[in-house]
């Protein structure tokens, strides 16, 4: 359950969450609930008003476009997923570069970091990303953090998918203080008890990692193609 009431602030803070085809819904739905529980106003922004389709087929309707999204945001947030196309989309990168330059916090979860990097917003910054995409982030010149939540000045990032919940609570604590973050945690009954201890490669073991690499092989090739495209564009400009 979440609540529209503002639990911690006088002015309602404004957040923009980037929506795009292929995103992982859990990457943004966790932070979204935390933001909303803390009383922030959340804009689900896409290039057009058309619905987007997540990586597993969930159809979500944006409530703002690049044109009508507020200019000055408190938090700009990019989730991950199948981000290759988005990393190479000039309208998306221009939107992010514009809002990112003015936002109080520039943030991501999972390999949403790659989209921020493609927009030039992580030059000279440290960032977390999904464990399987650390190599791609490094190729884009970003200092890769293996932390679950990474803070570098006004850049804040979470690791893969479920790290978004830890990220959301961390940023709410920064903005509103610990008490509001604890309220959000209680509302979401976030007292995790994973039935296994297999959430990172070091704990999951080589066989599970090999299964992941096999299943995600094609997605990885597509991601590498996007990284190479971004690097080529940069070389042409400089």
> Among all residues, which ones are annotated catalytic?
110
Nearer to its own copies, 59 or 235 (CB): 59
Q: CA triplet 7, 10, 15: central angle to 5 degrees?
A: 75
Q: State the nearest-atom distance from the C-beta of 94 to its own copies, in Å.
A: 26
Nearer to its own copies, 19 or 100 (CB): 19
Nearer to its own copies, 4 or 123 (CB): 4
Is 161 within 8 Å of 109 (Cβ atoms)?
Answer: yes
Is 72 within 8 Å of 102 (Cβ atoms)?
Answer: yes
- DSSP-derived secondary structure letter, 5: S
Is 100 within 8 Å of 126 (Cβ atoms)?
Answer: no
**Both structure tokens of 236:** 């042409």
Q: State the nearest-atom distance from the C-beta of 57 to its own copies, in Å.
A: 7
- DSSP-derived secondary structure letter, 23: B
Question: Looking up tokens 């884009």, which residue turns up?
Answer: 140
Cα 225 to Cα 23, 71, 109, distances in angstroms: 18, 32, 21
Q: State the nearest-atom distance from the C-beta of 228 to its own copies, in Å.
A: 20
Nearer to its own copies, 44 or 100 (CB): 44
Q: State the nearest-atom distance from the C-beta of 192 to its own copies, in Å.
A: 4
């Amino acid at each position: 359950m979440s609540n529209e009431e503002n639990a911690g602030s006088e002015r309602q803070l404004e957040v923009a969450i980037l929506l795009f085809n292929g995103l992982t819904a859990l990457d943004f739905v966790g932070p979204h609930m935390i933001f909303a529980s803390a009383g922030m106003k959340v804009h689900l922004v896409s290039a057009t008003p058309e619905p987007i389709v997540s990586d597993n087929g969930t159809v979500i309707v944006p409530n703002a476009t690049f044109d009508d999204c507020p200019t000055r945001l408190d938090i700009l947030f990019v989730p991950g997923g199948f981000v290759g196309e988005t990393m190479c989309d000039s309208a998306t990168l221009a939107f992010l570069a514009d809002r990112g330059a003015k936002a109080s916090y520039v943030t991501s979860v999972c390999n949403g970091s790659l989209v921020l990097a493609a927009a030039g917003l992580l030059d000279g910054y440290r960032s977390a990303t999904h464990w399987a995409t650390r190599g791609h982030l490094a190729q884009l010149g970003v200092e890769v953090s293996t932390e679950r939540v990474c803070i570098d000045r006004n850049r804040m990032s979470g690791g893969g998918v479920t790290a978004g919940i830890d990220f959301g609570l961390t940023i709410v604590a920064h903005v509103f203080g610990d008490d509001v973050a604890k309220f959000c945690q209680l509302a979401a009954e976030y007292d995790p008890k994973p039935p296994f201890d297999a959430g990172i490669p070091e704990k999951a073991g080589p066989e599970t990692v090999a299964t992941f690499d096999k299943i995600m092989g094609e997605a990885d090739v597509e991601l590498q193609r996007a990284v190479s495209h971004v690097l080529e564009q940069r070389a042409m400009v400089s």
